[in-house]
Chains A and B, each alone.
Chain A
Amino acid sequence: MSSLTSACPTPEVDAAHRVDPYWGGLWASHVGGVAVAWASRSSLRRAEQHGLGRMRALERRWEPEEAFDLVVAKPGCLIQLAAINLWRTATGPQLTAITGRKGRNTSTDLPLLWAAELIQKGTIVNGAFSTSSLPKLYRPDLRARAVDLEHRLTYPEWLGLSAGQPWSVGSQFDRHNLLTTELSIRVAEFCPIGQVFGESLGAWPLLFGPDHPLMKTTKRAADAVWVRPDGFRIAIEATASISSVMKEKVARWVSAIAADESKSLMVVFVDVSAPDKHGGDRVGTITRKILAEEANSSMDMKLAKVPERVAFARWRDWFPAPGMVDPAFLGLRVELPTGPPAARWERADLLDPYAIPFNPADPIAALAPLDNANLLYGVPHWLRTGPGPDLDAVVRARAGVPPATPISPARRAHLAAIRPTGR
Chain B
Amino acid sequence: MNPIAPMPIGELNSALAASRRVRAEWLLSMDAGVLGVAELVSHATTEAGAPLRALHIAEVLRTQPGWGRRRTRVAMETLRRRLGVPETTPNHRLTVGWLTDRRSSGNRLTALCDQLTSDPRSAPSAGFPFTPVVPLPSGRLYQSSSPADTFETS
Contact = CB atoms under 8 A, between A and B. Distances in A.
Interface in A381-405: 389-405
A76 interface: no
Contacts of A72: 81
A21 B121 CA distance: 36
Contact of B71 (A151, A155, A201, A412): A151
Nearest to B140: A398
Q: What range describes how many residues of B lie at the interface?
A: 35 or more
A152 B74 contact: yes
A153 interface: yes
B121 A397 contact: no
Chain A residues touching B, majority SS:
helix
Interface stretch (B9-17, B26-34, B49-57, B100-108): B100-108
A366 B13 CA distance: 63
A153 B75 CA distance: 9
Contacts of A415: 102-103
Interface stretch (A29-37, A127-135, A206-214, A284-292): A206-214
A394 B129 CA distance: 14
B128 A397 contact: no
Contacts of B148: 400-402
Interface stretch (A100-108, A294-302, A368-376): A368-376
Given A405-B153, A415-B103, A159 B123 contact: yes
A155 B129 contact: no
Interface of A: 72-73, 150-155, 158-159, 162-165, 197, 201, 205-207, 209-210, 233, 364-365, 368-369, 371-373, 375-376, 389-407, 411-412, 415-416, 419, 421-423
Given A401-B109, A412-B103, 16 more contacts: A150-B118, A155-B117, A205-B127, A233-B130, A368-B133, A369-B129, A389-B133, A391-B124, A397-B136, A400-B38, A400-B143, A401-B37, A404-B109, A405-B106, A416-B103, A422-B98
**9 smallest A-B Cβ distances: which pairs?**
A400-B142, A164-B123, A404-B106, A372-B129, A399-B113, A397-B135, A389-B133, A421-B103, A393-B135
